[in-house]
A and B are shown apart, each in its own frame.
Chain A
Amino acid sequence: MLNLMPRRESPLQSEFLQGTLDMLVLQSLVLGPAHGHTIAHAIERGSEEVLQVEHGSLYPALHRLEDRGWIASFWGTSENNRKAKYYRLTPAGRKQLLAQTTRWEQVVQAIGRILKPVSEKPR
């Protein structure tokens, strides 16, 4: 297969962060279908503005997730009557979200175990 990666690195390019963004997008769709704008704001708000991303960079992620069959899209009308593309979670996406979340928690715990003794050690 050919290398499909773009040459210029976008902010969320590294594999780890990319996986994280995927997970966040999937999570934001758990409660029901949403369009790009909602998803972007949901992630920003949900992280209490800690995760500042260019909203545009969300779209390649959406495209990628749809390509893998984890989300599906349809055209609809937004809350304020604008035409918008909605995304919803597919069963495969739900399974993927679960798997990714589990893996994420394992990693966080593992890192936590490594870091804790250091931080708890009195100087």
Chain B
Amino acid sequence: MSWLRFFRRANWDQERVEEIDSYVQIETDENLARGMTAEAARAAAQRKFGNRTQIREEIYRMNTMAVLDSLAKDARHGLRSLRHNPTFTVVALLTLAIGIGANTAVFSVINGVLLNPLRYPKPEQLVALRQLAPGAAGLASFSDGLMLSPSMYFTYSEQNQSFQSLGVWSPGTANVTGLGEPEQVRGIAVSDGVLQALAVPPAAGRWLSPADQVPRGPERVMLSYGYWQRHFGGARSAVGRNLTVDSRPREIVGVMPREFRFLNQDFDLIMPLAFDRSRAILAGFGFQGIARLKPGVPIARANADLARLVPVWMDSWTNGPGTNGKVYATWKITPAIRSLKEEMVGNVSDVLWVVMATIGLVMLIACANVTNLLLVRAEVRQQELALRSALGASRGRIAGALLVESLMLGVMGGVLGMGLAGVGVRLLLAIGPAALPRLGEISIDSRTFAFALMLSVLSGLIFGSIPALKYAGTRISEILRSAGRTASTSRQRHRVRNLLVIAQVAMALVLLVSAGLMIRTFRALRTVDPGFTHADHLQTMRIAIPASLIAKPEQAFRIQNEITDKVSAIPGVSSAGFASDMPMEGYGSMWDEIYAQDHTYPPGEIPPLRYYKYVSPGFFHAAGTRMIAGRDLTWAEVYNRRQLVLLSENLARELWGTASAAVGKHIREFTFSPWWEVVGVVQDVAENGVDAKAPEIVYWPPMMENMFGPGPLDVRRAVTFVVRSDRAGTEAFLNQVRQAVWSVNASLPVATVRTMQEVYDQSLARTSFTLIMLAIAGAMALLLGIIGIYGVISYGVSQRRREIGIRLALGSPLGTLQQMFVRHALLLTGIGMAVGFGAALGLTRLMTSLLFGVSPLDPVTYGAVPVVLAGAAVLASYLPARRAAAVDPVETLRAE
């Protein structure tokens, strides 16, 4: 039997009919010739031939594939019946489309961020060189572990046996002049080995080579594709030209391709680090390591390899005369290499999986709702089904037909859902955490497509199989019986629907509890004092003064002072100042050994490392950071290089018990530097976000003597200015600020202009993203749950009209009847909530890492959610129950 004939079987049948006709004709002719009457001749011929239809059917079946045939028929029938019930179809399709769309959107994010391999050649070989240093007190709160120092880079890259290439890098900013307005650009400084490890060939020109890494050698730079397009229009001739970076010419040697991302960093320029080997010391742990493993080398072996090199590194380098490099042995430096993907994705995976799980639950609730709809519809169609069964359709055939119909519903919902997913992805990216890694790699690809298709078919099977199993076996006798007066519907029929509502309520409870916990977390975070006030009135901006522009450090500091004064003079500005960085900005942290004068330290042991910053006089006043004890510095004290310092309250308490006791005490960094007097103590500041513990901080003045003796003064050249004004954020105000800066020096770019509120919101982005997603999921679950309860009760009311009528006629008060229905809904909700509590107790534990200041068993949330759900249940059941009042007992009785 050929496919061709299968599709042409109607033609074939037509030909058979003609052939049979021809037989009958010939036979009739012969019968006539034998002298029969016309009528008898024809009848005899028919008789001789036998059962015409049966013969045709037999041949037709020879040409057909029964399953395909009935499938096509079922599909046609299904489409027709869906068209005839537009309300049902639209509601079901919308529910499915939203469910499938939301799931597909979230999946596409998970797929792009977590599942897809990184877009580098052989990405599985790429690793981030993380190290732990459990022995270095203070470092324990380092989220990044211990970064690498230049000397470590030299030892590791030259003596390892596990890597094809190894390098270190560090993000930063640079000022580009000579291309229109001065511009601060994002740069990445790389050592040799970084580009080789990433192994992405340049789009034009060449990579930075080892020859470009020679200190005081020729200065070179690579461009990002975007920067190349913006400033050189993508011209190949850009390669070889000079770019003025930090007031020095650098030759452009190459351009990276458009799809190239430097891990999670946005960048404009790639510049060589050009470490000076002769000046490298043990310390300076400020660089991130990246490497490409040799083929087949597991991470454990690479770890062992580097662990072997740590003592080699300590023996090979020194921190200068009079220091003992062996102190680092007490730090217990341990390599903890991670795959680059893990490094890039980080803790986002927790958030994404929680979101996926919640959206998946919403999908299940949606499926439960569609099942309910289908059940009601199947009930209505019982007569049709019974008729089909009476006409000889087998149980399997009817079940198949119902299933095909649900599958079509599922697939159509899926197609609509794919459309919604496109919108959903854009929405997700818009509200997603700004730091969501691999953002540019999220798209709807073939795997996402397969996911949506699978989800559609699976959901079709799930919600289709229940009615199919239940109603395929309907017997005609049952229908005839129930069409009569003994019509109270069987309990058994309600059971499935009740179970579905219970499941819905249980899942809704889980989602609402999760959403509630996130709301509580958010509120808890908002109540944390971040260490600054009225963030929306705090304008911040980053200004860097390169040494190539202003050589003398003291001159640079004077310019910073002048900018502060000019900005303060703008109308509406109440105060201004600057600091090495603002809280939550994440410009990387600096840590130092801090000794207190009246404390004793065992010989050979290093005191805890402390986080330190540089702040200008007036900075704390402008930021709104409270002075706990003592006083702020004055500009004169800074210019006179008085050795005065401020501390955070927690550090003061740790060292001397109270804040006020700290004032007048002395500290120093390293053993060879002079003692500094503590003049003030300020409140703790949530440097790493309000959900992290406020670190102990030392605040140095912005200009200091060179720690290593006579030499240039120590000045922060890149600082964040902070300006307090009601007009912060407005365009007019920003123009005035820029003019003020440029009136001091016109070559200074003003970068990263934003209000502190934006910085603060961004630090909460992960929490608010999770909150929004869970709130959406919770709201959807609640809505779907209400619809589910409403549907069941309202159907119950319509099925029991007769019973209601009789009860009314017998004198039962209406209120009692309505209560009966509400009680039924509350019973279902109660059981559902009990089940949901069990599930929530287990599931919310998985959220612990996302919570702050609230237990996963938070009594407030667990108390409030059932109240909300019960209220919703009462509402959802009271509305249809009121319809019982519309029952006219006389009418009902007459119908009897």
A4 to B: closest C-beta gap in Å: 6
| CB-defined contacts of A82 to chain B, threshold 8 Å | 22, 25-26, 29
| CB-defined contacts of B62 to chain A, threshold 8 Å | 4, 60, 63-64, 67
Contact bitstring B176-210, A, C-beta under 8 A = 1, else 0: 00000000000000000000000000000000000
Among B46-54, B329-337, B354-362, B461-469, the stretch that binds chain A is B46-54
Interface Cβ pair total, 8 Å cutoff: 77
Check: B19 CB closer than 8 A to any chain A CB: yes
Cα distance A36–B1 when bound, in Å?
22
| CB-defined contacts of B839 to chain A, threshold 8 Å | none
Check: B536 CB closer than 8 A to any chain A CB: no
> Knowing A60-B59, A64-B62, A67-B62 touch, does A8 contact B54 (C-beta < 8 A)?
yes
Contact bitstring A68-107, B, C-beta under 8 A = 1, else 0: 0000000000101011110000000000000000000000
Check: A55 CB closer than 8 A to any chain B CB: yes
A85 touches B26 (CB 8 A): no
Minimal Cβ-Cβ distance residue in B for A79: B26
> Knowing A2-B66, A4-B62 touch, does A56 contact B22 (C-beta < 8 A)?
no
| CB-defined contacts of B51 to chain A, threshold 8 Å | 54, 56
| CB-defined contacts of A78 to chain B, threshold 8 Å | 22, 26
Cα distance A69–B65 when bound, in Å?
20
Cα distance A73–B16 when bound, in Å?
12
A114 to B: closest C-beta gap in Å: 35
| CB-defined contacts of B48 to chain A, threshold 8 Å | 54-55
Chain A residues 3-41 with CB under 8 Å of chain B are: 3-4, 6, 8, 10, 35-37, 40
- A contact residues, total (Cβ < 8 Å): 25
| CB-defined contacts of B55 to chain A, threshold 8 Å | 56-57, 59-60
Cα distance A84–B27 when bound, in Å?
12
Q: Which of B1, B58, B66 is within 8 Å of A60, CB to CB?
A: B58
B29 touches A80 (CB 8 A): yes
Cα distance A35–B64 when bound, in Å?
25
| CB-defined contacts of B761 to chain A, threshold 8 Å | none
A36 to B: closest C-beta gap in Å: 5
| CB-defined contacts of A80 to chain B, threshold 8 Å | 26, 29
Minimal Cβ-Cβ distance residue in B for A54: B50
Check: B67 CB closer than 8 A to any chain A CB: yes
Minimal Cβ-Cβ distance residue in B for A62: B19
| CB-defined contacts of B299 to chain A, threshold 8 Å | none
B20 touches A56 (CB 8 A): yes
A37 touches B27 (CB 8 A): yes
Interface range, B side: 20 to 34
| CB-defined contacts of A36 to chain B, threshold 8 Å | 19, 22-23
| CB-defined contacts of A60 to chain B, threshold 8 Å | 55, 58-59, 62
Q: Describe B's contact surface by its main secondary structure.
A: helix
Check: B61 CB closer than 8 A to any chain A CB: yes
B50 touches A83 (CB 8 A): no
A57 touches B23 (CB 8 A): no
Cα distance A108–B48 when bound, in Å?
30
Cα distance A32–B18 when bound, in Å?
22
| CB-defined contacts of B565 to chain A, threshold 8 Å | none
> Knowing A57-B50, A60-B55 touch, does A85 contact B19 (C-beta < 8 A)?
yes
A54 to B: closest C-beta gap in Å: 3
B22 touches A35 (CB 8 A): yes
| CB-defined contacts of B758 to chain A, threshold 8 Å | none
B59 touches A63 (CB 8 A): yes
Check: B705 CB closer than 8 A to any chain A CB: no
A83 touches B22 (CB 8 A): yes
Check: B57 CB closer than 8 A to any chain A CB: yes
| CB-defined contacts of A57 to chain B, threshold 8 Å | 50, 55
B26 touches A55 (CB 8 A): no
> Knowing A37-B26, A54-B49 touch, does A6 contact B19 (C-beta < 8 A)?
no
A84 touches B26 (CB 8 A): yes
Chain B residues 1-36 with CB under 8 Å of chain A are: 1, 15-16, 18-20, 22-23, 25-27, 29
Cα distance A102–B20 when bound, in Å?
32
Cα distance A59–B59 when bound, in Å?
8
Chain B residues 43-96 with CB under 8 Å of chain A are: 48-52, 54-55, 57-59, 61-62, 64-67
| CB-defined contacts of A6 to chain B, threshold 8 Å | 57-58, 61
Cα distance A84–B15 when bound, in Å?
11
A45 to B: closest C-beta gap in Å: 13
| CB-defined contacts of A67 to chain B, threshold 8 Å | 1, 62
B22 touches A55 (CB 8 A): no
Interface-central residue, B25, B29, B50, by most chain A CB under 10 Å: B50
B26 touches A10 (CB 8 A): no
Cα distance A40–B58 when bound, in Å?
18
Q: Which of A4, A59, A83 is within 8 Å of B20, CB to CB?
A: A59
B676 to A: closest C-beta gap in Å: 91
B410 to A: closest C-beta gap in Å: 26
Q: Which of A2, A3, A84 is within 8 Å of B22, CB to CB?
A: A84
Minimal Cβ-Cβ distance residue in B for A53: B50
A59 touches B19 (CB 8 A): yes
| CB-defined contacts of B59 to chain A, threshold 8 Å | 59-60, 63
Report 22 cross-chain contacts, Cβ distance below 8 Å, ordered by A residue.
Answer: A2-B67, A4-B64, A4-B66, A6-B57, A8-B54, A35-B26, A36-B19, A36-B22, A37-B26, A37-B27, A54-B49, A56-B20, A56-B50, A60-B59, A64-B62, A67-B1, A80-B29, A82-B25, A83-B18, A83-B22, A84-B22, A85-B18
Question: Which 8 pairs between the two chains have the least Cβ-Cβ distance?
Answer: A54-B50, A56-B50, A37-B26, A56-B55, A56-B49, A84-B22, A85-B19, A60-B58
Q: In the complex, given contacts A55-B27, A78-B22, what are 16 additional A-B residue pairs having Cβ atoms less than 8 angstroms apart?
A: A4-B66, A6-B58, A10-B54, A35-B23, A37-B22, A37-B26, A40-B23, A54-B48, A55-B50, A56-B52, A59-B19, A67-B1, A67-B62, A82-B22, A82-B29, A85-B19
